[in-house]
Amino acid sequence: MRLLRSNHINNRITITRPKVDGPDGMDLEEEPTVSMVFHNGILHIVDGHYESNGWTIQIFESRNPIVNTDAKLFYQKSPWFAQPAYGRHNVLVATIDKTPNMQEYERWANLLVAAQDRIRWLYDQAKVGYVMMFADMRPSDIPEPHLQLVTLPVIPPTIKTEIESSRDIKSEMGICPMCQIVDEETGGKRQILTSKNFIAICPWPPSSSYEFWIVPRKHSVSFLKLTQVDLHDLAMLMWSTLGGLTKTLPGVSFSLAFHLSPEKKKTSRLHWHIEVYPHTSGPAGMDKGFGVSLCNVSPEDAAKDLSVASRREWIGAVGVNL
């Protein structure tokens, strides 16, 4: 039985499920649910598998889902709060046959367009309180990226905390705290790279060495309202900074998470952003037990290293210096 268990002392949520064989979440069904084919500058949706000479996005239902729509009805109250781990678990994969006049970073742009469309569809389904978008990746995954979309009936604790903190700070100080961070970090020692609409920075208190965020430079609370031009700009920055990370730390795996506003609660808004966590941490007792992280590289030094490597990736992709 898949259960969503919660602890109201520390607001932790845990999903339990039967033991599975194979990669967690990335073991795909044989046939995609949807294929999106790139043709004449547009992504076209087709049903099932589609062979093409262009770039495609394929959307799969995970064979070993974290949540599913067959979850049995089970509710439990204090002190052991539990409810069915009801939801959908999709995996979006960018595939490519070499296409003339297209850059590799555009796989990320196509992936983001497909993710935007799929998130809209997921929010139209029953019992969806939040759509988590994330990925656990190795350096070899950057040229052929993937994203996971997992729905929950509730808002995750981290997102809920960020929403409440942002609301309190804005009420007290009259400014969005993420906008304030962007203003302070632009041109500063923790800036990695900027594009027209986005900035990559190392956060002041990182949870791991070389952690960085990608943030809209202007106040933005809905990922779903980004235009294709915006997504192209974001894809270029993601490609450059993730490539810079793997050049700075060869062989390192990493996770990325999109901290987005819940689309069904218009009063719960968040200046959305992406957080990238390199797997560089050592023993986790202090972090897990007390929420105190230890980093052996300061965010200022990390930003300096990542900036040099990310600029090289940008120049290599488009031939334009920043």
pLDDT of 41: 57
Q: Which is higher by pLDDT, 36 or 56?
A: 56
List CB contacts of 259: < 8 A, sequence separation 6 or more: 158, 159, 162, 270, 272, 273, 274, 275
- Structure confidence at residue 119 as a pLDDT band (50, 70, 90): very high
- Structure confidence at residue 280 as a pLDDT band (50, 70, 90): confident
**pLDDT above 70 for 143:** yes
pLDDT of 80: 83
pLDDT per position as a tens digit, 187-202: 999 999 999 999 999 9
List the structure tokens of 154: 């509730």
Minimum mean pLDDT range among 139-148, 246-255, 258-267, 306-315: 139-148
pLDDT of 320: 62
Domain ranges of the chain: 1-154, 156-322
pLDDT of 44: 61
CA atoms of 191 and 201, how far apart (whole Å): 4
**Peptide bond preceding 206 in cis form (omega within 30 of 0):** no
List CB contacts of 62: < 8 A, sequence separation 6 or more: 25, 26, 27, 28, 29, 89, 90, 91, 148
pLDDT of 43: 62
Q: What does the pLDDT average to over 168-191?
A: 96
Cα three-residue angle 120-56-140, rounded to 5 degrees: 100
pLDDT of 73: 75
CA atoms of 142 and 161, how far apart (whole Å): 30
Cβ(91)–Cβ(26) below 8 Å: yes
CA atoms of 238 and 12, how far apart (whole Å): 30
Q: Which CATH number fits domain 1-154: 3.30.2020.30, 3.30.428.10, 3.50.50.60, 3.40.50.1370?
A: 3.30.428.10
| Other Cβ atoms within 10 Å of 121 Cβ, number | 14
Give CB contacts under 8 A, 24+ apart, made by 179-187: 179/219, 179/271, 181/215, 182/215, 182/216, 182/217, 186/217
Q: What does the pLDDT average to over 159-176?
A: 94
pLDDT of 316: 84
pLDDT of 159: 96
Do 156-322 and 1-154 have the same topology in CATH?
Answer: yes
Average pLDDT, the chain: 87
CA atoms of 43 and 50, how far apart (whole Å): 13
pLDDT per position as a tens digit, 2-36: 889 998 788 889 999 888 766 555 555 556 666 66
pLDDT of 91: 93
List the structure tokens of 41: 């500058």
pLDDT per position as a tens digit, 243-257: 999 999 999 999 999
List the structure tokens of 90: 């999709």
**pLDDT above 90 for 145:** no
**pLDDT above 80 for 149:** yes
Cβ(154)–Cβ(130) below 8 Å: yes
Minimum mean pLDDT range among 74-83, 94-103, 159-168, 301-310: 94-103
- Structure confidence at residue 322 as a pLDDT band (50, 70, 90): low
CA dihedral sign of residues 217, 207, 240, 133: negative
Q: What does the pLDDT average to over 232-237?
A: 96
Residue located via tokens 């009420």 = 171
Q: In this structure, what are the phi and psi dihedrals at residue 273, rounded to the nearest 5 degrees?
A: -165, 170
CATH code for the domain defined by 156-322: 3.30.428.10
